[in-house]
Structure 1
Amino acid sequence: MGRLVYSTLASLDGFIADEDGRFDWAVPSAEVHAAVNARLHGVGTFLLGRRLYEVMRAWDAVDVTGQPAEVVGFARIWRAADKVVYSRTLRSVEEPRTRLERHFEVDGVRRFVAAAGRDVAIGGPDLAAAAFRAAIVDDVVLHVFPVLIGAGTTAFPADVRLDLELVAERRFGDGVVGLEYRRARS
């Protein structure tokens, strides 16, 4: 049985991108990138919103020759996983192992995750918000960067309460803090 994992990089004030959509402040160090890879290694499928897909699809074609081990490692994780893109505006997706869905159906995703032999990662703030609202997110993996950006795209929806238990924490040399939470069971 898989788990639905929301993993993201965020500013200290809870944003994943600034007001202009930039996230250059969140370029992970080799150490942070390796930790993200270690957590995502067990992911068999990525569920993505359109905007995140448009950013991440570059990993299908990037030449990793001569790249650092953490870059090569992430490219391998990404390329080996299936991807489901949720979009009402995209006409098609061309990348390998990728399919397009028009609507995020909570019950279908819940059944898919329950039947999955590996974890399922969900990404993109709107898509993740729908999963949080439906209370189907099992794990939250957050890498907090030591920067305040003041405004932008929030990492979490404002209208959801989800009780979590801290299961892991790690401080990195560049001031980033990695936090892993599991949904609290009543």
Structure 2
Amino acid sequence: MSPLSFGMNVSLDGYIAGPGDDIGWSVPSDELFQWWSDRVAATGTALYGRKLWETMSSHWPTADQQPGVTPAEIEFAHRWQSMPKVVFSKTDRQVDWNTRLVTSDAVAEIARLKADDGGPIDIGGATLAATAMQAGLIDEYILATAPVLVGGGTPFFAALDNWVNLNLVETRTFPGGVTLTRYETRR
């Protein structure tokens, strides 16, 4: 079975985006950016909700060709472009860049992908991750917690019907006071 991980930058008060979808507070240090890039390189498949897909696909397909691009950004762009991706959307009709579109039941498709042994799967996007979280499909949570309180916005965690017990498997501090924590779901 392929493990499913949900990881994002998050504010100390638990939001992946502030009011108005503001993510300006979550710009990673070079070291954290490299950590996320290495994560992309190790991912077998990435799952995206519509909004995160729109954000990622508006930048990374051509980021390696932009003026002033850094070597780390070029590396990330190439890794992102070549990584297999699945977008879950009922409104999008076309996707590119090594990506396929799923418009049907997300839970059934995520469960099917996990049953295949296609390597580690990362899921991103608050709504899609909440669906997987509520269905008990997430095996690992990765929080890159920034020392900022944004006061509202899009929460990292979904409302759940039952507790989910976790085991802490990694902690690491990055420049700027960002603390990375990784938890595995205790089954």
TM-score under structure 1 length normalisation? 0.92
Q: Aligned with 2:21: secondary structure?
A: coil
2:77 matched to which residue of 1? Answer: 75
Instruction: Name the structure with the higher helix share.
Output: 2
Aligned to 1:17: 17
Residues 36-115 of structure 1: matches in 2 within 5 Å? Answer: 36-57=36-57, 58-64=59-65, 67-93=69-95, 95-115=96-116
Per-residue CA deviations over 1:14-56 (Å, capped at 9, x if unaligned) read 0011111110100101011111222332112111110000000
Secondary structure of the residue aligned to 1:41 is helix
Q: Distance in 1 between matches of 2:105 and 2:83?
A: 19
User: Could you say what the CA RMSD is over the residues aligned between the two structures, in angstroms?
Assistant: 1.6
The residue aligned with 1:154 is: 155
Q: How far off is 1:183 after superposition?
A: 0.8
| Partner secondary structure for residue 85 of structure 1 | strand
Return 5+ residue gaps in structure 1 as ranges.
none
Contact in 1 for aligned 2:126/2:154 (Cα 8 Å)? yes
Percent of residue pairs bearing the same amino acid type: 38
Residue 64 of structure 1 deviates from its aligned partner by 4.9
Question: 1:116 is matched with which residue?
Answer: 117
Higher mean C-alpha deviation, range 155-164 or range 174-183 = 155-164
**Partner in structure 2 of residue 145 of structure 1:** 146
Aligned residues: 184
Is the 1:64–1:71 Cα contact (8 Å) retained in structure 2? no
**Post-superposition CA distance 1:67-105 (Å, at most 9, x none):** 334322321221111111111111222x22111111333
Can you give the 5+ residue segments of structure 2 that lack an aligned partner in the other structure? Answer: none
Q: Equivalents in 2 of 1:101, 1:148: separation in Å? A: 35
Amino acid at match of 1:144: T
Distance 2:133 2:40 in 1: 19
